[in-house]
Amino acid sequence: MSPATDAAAAFREIHGRAPAGVWSAPGRVNLIGEHTDYNDGFVLPFALPHRLAAAAAPRDDGKLAVATLGDDNQLQHSGPLDIASLEPGSAEGWAAYAAGVAWVLRDQGFADGADVVIAGDVPSGAGLSSSHALECAVSLALLGVAGVELDDGAANTPSRPQIARWVQRSENDFVGAPTGLLDQTASLCCEDSCVLFLDVRSGDMEQVPFPLADAGVRVLIMDTRTKHSHAEGGYGERRRGTERAAEVLGVKALRDITPDGLDDALARLPEDLVPLVRHVVTENQRVLDVVALLHQGKLAEIGPYLDASHVSMRDDYRISTAELDLAVDAARSAGALGARMTGGGFGGSAIALVRDEHLDAVRTAVEKAYDRAGWRRPRTFTAVPSRGAGRDEV
């Protein structure tokens, strides 16, 4: 069974009819380029094989009813909510993610009611963007029931980057999370076997081949299964800090500071902003360096950049945790080519780039390190870059 067939089967069970269609969207992992998106910088994510699927059919009363099938096979229902009267605050928890995209799409002229049932396997709370997978899948489902299919070339069809900006608006203004463009762009725009090199300022994108199997390496995801309570506050605080720094430096965004101008910029900043700026400027450069190596076919040589990115997030941006640091350190000591936390930080997942022959040793070393610390073992799995969001055949 796939997320799409699960969602379609659950839809039939709940509504006693077939859905009009099923649309799904993946979670993501960011290879490198963290907290650079809201500084107009560079990111390099890939889509996970894990997806959330939304089975949907139109309703004729202008309402949105959403049900999700959880890991435990339990259904949770929300709504029906009247789409015309949606406003920030009219839905909470996971339901706000679905209602938020209906709110944004309504303003774009897509206000049809729908029954939606969601199922899938993106780990939630793991920093792998399950909430954006949900938002992207629901967006495509709501557009689909309104007769709008991605990539069909029709005049009123929004582009994938356009939908990503709508999803960001729903996240920022409806859900109330001050996040950037990384996650929803990854979920919508990534392609099989590639990492997506996105220049957030210009919107330029390049699908960069990421041939893990040819290079004899794997990306091991280590979900620490921890989330620290100050995650939301800490994210917003970092974002405001970098915006304040850009203001002090008289630039539109920290993207405008290059490594050459870094020392000069740091000398003009109040002490508390120095490490934040150092992280963003060096991280942008690391993304460019990794892309250059990938262009040269040197995938197995990007490890040191992953390591440096982690150190920068741990010591300068201060968004790592003891659990993330232990996973990264244990993986490195057991032979990983490089490792770093990924995503917003304050918990969630780390990744390690590992040669095929070292995979078992790395996984075991991480588990043993957690055992010694007396912590619950992380959930680990390898991931290959997978396709972005779209309609599924069921």
CB 144 within 8 A of CB 21: yes
Instruction: By CB under 6 A, tell whether 286 contacts ligand GAF.
Output: no
By CB under 6 A, residue 343 contacts ligand GAF: yes
The H-or-E segment that residue 197 falls in is strand 194-199
Q: Does 283 bind ligand GAF (CB under 6 A)?
A: no
Catalytic residue among 40, 183, 223, 392: 183
> Which residue's structure tokens are 């996984």?
363
Contact 27, 51 (CB under 8 A): yes
User: What residue type is assigned to position 132 of the chain?
Assistant: H
Contacts of residue 368, defined as CB under 8 A and 6 or more positions apart, other chains included, come to 330
CA 243 to chain centre: 22
Binding mask 208-247 for ligand GAF (x = CB under 6 A): ----------------------------------------
Q: Does 340 bind ligand GAF (CB under 6 A)?
A: no
Determine which residue in the list 41, 113, 144, 180 makes contact with ligand GAF, applying CB under 6 A. Answer: 180
DSSP structural state of residue 156: T
CA pseudo-torsion sign 97, 98, 99, 100: positive
Asked about 289 being catalytic, the answer comes back as: no
Task: Report the DSSP beta bridge partners of residue 68.
Answer: 76, 118
* Cα–Cα distance, 9 to 290 (Å, whole number): 42
- Does position 179 interact with ligand GAF (CB under 6 A)? The reply is yes
Among 6, 34, 40, 135, binds ligand GAF (CB under 6 A): 34
Find the binder of ligand GAF among 6, 112, 183, 323 (CB under 6 A).
183
Chosen residue from 27, 344, 385, 390 binding ligand GAF by CB under 6 A: 344
| Token code pair at residue 96 | 């706000």
Q: Which is nearer to ligand GAF, 349 or 386 (CB)?
A: 349
In this chain, which stretch among 75-83, 179-187, 220-228, 385-393 interacts with ligand GAF, using CB under 6 A?
A: 179-187
- Which of 37, 115, 135, 307 binds ligand GAF (CB under 6 A)? It is 37
**Backbone φ and ψ of 184, nearest 5°:** -70, -30
For the annotated catalytic residues, the residue numbers are: 183
Interacting residues with ligand GAF (CB under 6 A): 30, 34-35, 37-38, 179-180, 182-183, 343-344
